[in-house]
Amino acid sequence: MVIRLTKSDLSDELGSFEIKNKDLLGRIGDLTTKSGKIETPCLFPVINPTTQLLSVDEISKELGCNAIMTNAYLLKKKIGDFHPKKRVHDLLEFDGVIFTDSGAYQMLTYGSVEVEPLEIIKFEEDIGSDLAVILDIPTGVGKGREKAEWSVNETLKRADESLENIKRKDILWVGPVQGGTFLDLVEHCAKEMSKKPFDLYALGSPTKVMESYDFKTLFEMIFKAKKHLPVEKPFHLFGAGHPFMFSMAVAAGCDSFDSASYAIYARNGRYLTPSGTIRLENLKYFPCLCPVCIKFTPKELQELSESERIKLLSKHNLYACLEEINRIKEAIFEGRLWELIEIRAKSHPRLFEALMSFENYKEMIVSFSQSTKRFGIFYFGRQSSLRPEVVSYRRKIIEIYRPPSNYKSILLMPSPKDKPYHRNKFIKSFTDNFESDFHICFYTIPYGIVPIEIDDMFPLSQTETAKTYDSKTIDEIIEIITDYLKTNNYDELILHADESIFTKIRLDKIEKICDIKNIKFKLSYLGKEVWDQEALDKLKRILGS
């Protein structure tokens, strides 16, 4: 979406990035360019100035896409330095926001380009790009560390030279971060690039990593760069072409993408969906209601001429990409981006592997995330333990929370179905009779231990979980309980235990901590029917003795 601005608007706002909503490291924001405001997350469809399947008019009017990317190097080769319609908006017959790449991708593909860094900058200024990339040196993949170091140093050198020679201040300039799969070089490049006054920053050289489905490495690259770049500036991911990884890239901090993949996939007969790619000949039904999929069946689309089939398949693929961008925005707005990335992570084992690697950056994600949300959260399993609400609570209950000083005994009970827990009729009976003597706490998944006096805080009473849990998740809960007992000073622990959670090995861990801390340990009940009247009566007798 692009919002048109007047010249008076632009004089004060050009280059500003206003955050409207955020979730995880994802942001909905307005970036102001001289041709209007771009709302992020944003996808820039790549327009090939020499061979374009879908016309700019179709992309703009039919798909409602008012921000595109084209290649300044290819455009320069096509038109030269002189042309009656020199403005890029006139050349492409498009009045939206135009982002121009410098030709670095061609350098990565062919080894070199027939243009100098300052030459391409002048050309981008001459044609009036809205956003423009300097001619950096892509690191690529598999070329060795020495080559990678050279690409980083040369990119930083070119960044300085470019900034010294840029004349137009109404173009937003992009500082690329190189280093490839050498993560320490990515960090170094990001640190140095962050010192330079670019309007946006971008991760370079991710294409080969994505093509090999090495998403774990890709997200390591994103996090390493994002960690050192100015938080107030947008972050672009070059060449991110498949909708099934958009949400995770946004969650890791990417604000925009560009892609020609909608057309590349179409040429190969591949149909994009938010959860994967399907060969057209393998489809019997279209799982989509875009104008292409409503009008044709897969068989009918296959029977068209090659050029028409590729064009229509390109159109569907771009619809699928843009639809996913809107789905991500809605997830950010609702505070449900984590739920979306868990769904998308199940699309491919390598994506799920990448999601689990988010654990290495969980504190970074917590620091960027909202502390409250307008909706509750869902907990699906151990991967949900990485979401910031869970990470933050688990840390705070050990490091920050301290129980009221008047309690010497802790009663640790299973969490009841009712939320907040203190409203449960059984719990009320305990609080009425024993609250002054025992600190009532609940063991619960995913939070570990919840003191009764804070059980209505977000997100404790606003979390929905499954009824069964994997062994690893339960072990995490036991670890939180033992850490809590280590940290706080109780004289006595009374445990009302559900046997599905407290196996003998786990009970032994609790008893060991009690021995170390000299805490008197009483097991009031161990079985399945923790809320059975007989079990509760036994607990009351122990509490009253």
| DSSP secondary structure string for all residues of 434-470 | HTTTEEEEEEETTTEEEEGGGTTSTTGGGEEE-S---
The half-sphere exposure of 521 on its side-chain side, counting CA atoms within 13 A, is 16
**Two structure tokens written together for 45:** 């469809």
In a domain, 369, yes or no: no
Q: Are residues 17 and 59 in the same domain?
A: yes
Q: Are 170 and 129 in contact (CB under 8 A)?
A: no
Tens of pLDDT, residue by residue over 405-418, are 999 999 999 999 88
Last residue of a domain, one of 306, 329, 364: 364
- Specify the CATH number for the domain of residue 72: 3.20.20.105
Strand partners for 441: 412, 451
pLDDT at 486: 96
In a domain, 437, yes or no: yes
In a domain, 128, yes or no: yes
SS3 of 523, please? Answer: strand
Q: How many CB atoms lie within 10 A of CB 192?
A: 18
Catalytic site residues?
101
Long-range contacts of 227-232 (CB under 8 A, 24+ apart): 227/187, 227/190, 227/361, 227/364, 228/187, 228/190, 228/191, 228/194, 229/177, 229/190, 229/193, 229/194, 229/201, 230/194, 230/201, 231/368, 232/17
Last residue of a domain, one of 313, 336, 364: 364
In a domain, 463, yes or no: yes
Tens of pLDDT, residue by residue over 384-395, are 999 999 999 999
Last residue of a domain, one of 332, 364, 396: 364
In a domain, 63, yes or no: yes
Q: Are residues 407 and 315 in the same domain?
A: no
- Where the chain has pLDDT below 50, the residues are 1, 3-8
pLDDT at 468: 79
Q: How many independent structural domains does the chain possess? A: 2
What sign does the dihedral 85-88-89-93 (CA atoms) show?
Answer: positive
In a domain, 287, yes or no: yes
In a domain, 165, yes or no: yes
pLDDT at 12: 58
Q: Are 290 and 316 in contact (CB under 8 A)?
A: yes
Q: Are residues 34 and 121 in the same domain?
A: yes
Q: Are residues 182 and 242 in the same domain?
A: yes
pLDDT at 140: 82
| DSSP secondary structure string for all residues of 314-326 | HHHHHHHHHHHHH
pTM of the model: 0.91
pLDDT at 207: 84
Q: Are residues 97 and 153 in the same domain?
A: yes
Q: Are residues 322 and 385 in the same domain?
A: no
Q: Are residues 381 and 358 in the same domain?
A: no
Domain that holds residue 56: 2-364
Q: Are residues 504 and 444 in the same domain?
A: yes
pLDDT at 6: 44
Q: Are 481 and 500 in contact (CB under 8 A)?
A: no
Look up tokens 């609790």; give the residue.
510
Q: Are residues 410 and 351 in the same domain?
A: no
- Specify the CATH number for the domain of residue 381: 3.40.50.10630
Contacts of 1 (CB under 8 A, 6+ apart): 38, 39, 64, 66
Q: Are residues 358 and 382 in the same domain?
A: no
Asked, as a colleague might, if the bond just before 420 is cis with ω within 30 of 0, I would say yes
For residue 371, give the nearest of 358, 384, 389 by alpha carbon.
389
H helical segments located in 256-373: 261-267, 291-295, 298-302, 306-334, 337-345, 349-356, 362-368
Q: Are residues 342 and 394 in the same domain?
A: no
pLDDT at 5: 46
What sign does the dihedral 511-512-513-518 (CA atoms) show?
Answer: positive
pLDDT at 82: 65
In a domain, 90, yes or no: yes
Q: How many CB atoms lie within 10 A of CB 410?
A: 22
Q: Are residues 327 and 407 in the same domain?
A: no
For residue 229, give the nearest of 182, 184, 186 by alpha carbon.
186
